[in-house]
Copies of this chain bind each other. A is one copy, B any other.
Amino acid sequence: MREAFDAELAGFNRQLAELAQRTRDAMTRATTALLDVSLAGAAEVIGDDEELAEVHHRIDQQALALIARQQPVAGDLRTIIAGLRTSADLRRMATLARHVAELVGQRHPRPVVPSEVRPTIVEMGAVAARLAAAAQEAITTGNADAAAALERADDEMDTLLTSLYGTLVVEHRWDVETAMDLTLLGRYYERFADHAVSVAKRVAFAVGSRK
């Protein structure tokens, strides 16, 4: 019984890790579509999001079935509930990647990102991918050692957002529509990063409470 349960739990975790991988991939592709002003690339991300929503839903159903069937003890139960929360974070992250992709079509053929702030957005995309990778790693290894590095990356994202918003306000170079797009865009990356940090911190907490 214990062995079967452990195997199911490991399978559940593997699916979460895979969802994390696909979520990171979605944000990376959304960023590329955004910078290349690629409608096809954006449409792909938007289409894939429905699939990711289904995977998320399936993972959740499995977790509930696992609890109902195995009546896990406190520690195992906490692990599964933590998995449900991670699943919810990943769902939100994928939606944010979709929002990034949606901006492409909303402004097409005008690019959302003016060349002057392009480096900032490239960097935000890179930090987002790094954080999502760290979240995935935390899920896979149950290892919370990366927590400090994550905090640094999250701080980096906050600095990038402040810099982006500062540029918009100080330079007065862009029209209101561009400023609004970039305000939302910055927020999408920042929220994505926050959720990735939540995922990794939750693993850190779970590891801490098992020790």
Contacts and interface: CB of A to CB of B under 8 A. Distances in A.
Given A169-B180, A176-B172, A77 B68 contact: yes
Interface stretch (A3-11, A80-88, A123-131): A80-88
Interface string A62-89: 0010011001011001100100110010
A149 interface: no
A168 B178 CA distance: 11
Nearest to A169: B177
A108 interface: no
B64 A68 contact: no
A205 interface: no
A183 interface: yes
A77 B73 contact: no
Max chain B Cβ within 10 angstroms of own Cβ: one of A85, A176, A177? A176
A85 B64 CA distance: 13
B177 A176 contact: no
A198 to B, nearest CB: 11
A183 B103 CA distance: 14
Nearest to A78: B64
A-B pairs, top 3 by smallest CB distance, nearest first, are A68-B74, A176-B179, A183-B183
8 contacts: A165-B180, A168-B180, A169-B177, A176-B179, A179-B180, A180-B183, A183-B184, A187-B187
Given A81-B81, A179-B183, A184-B187, 12 more contacts: A64-B77, A67-B67, A67-B81, A68-B73, A68-B77, A71-B71, A81-B84, A168-B176, A176-B176, A180-B183, A183-B183, A183-B184
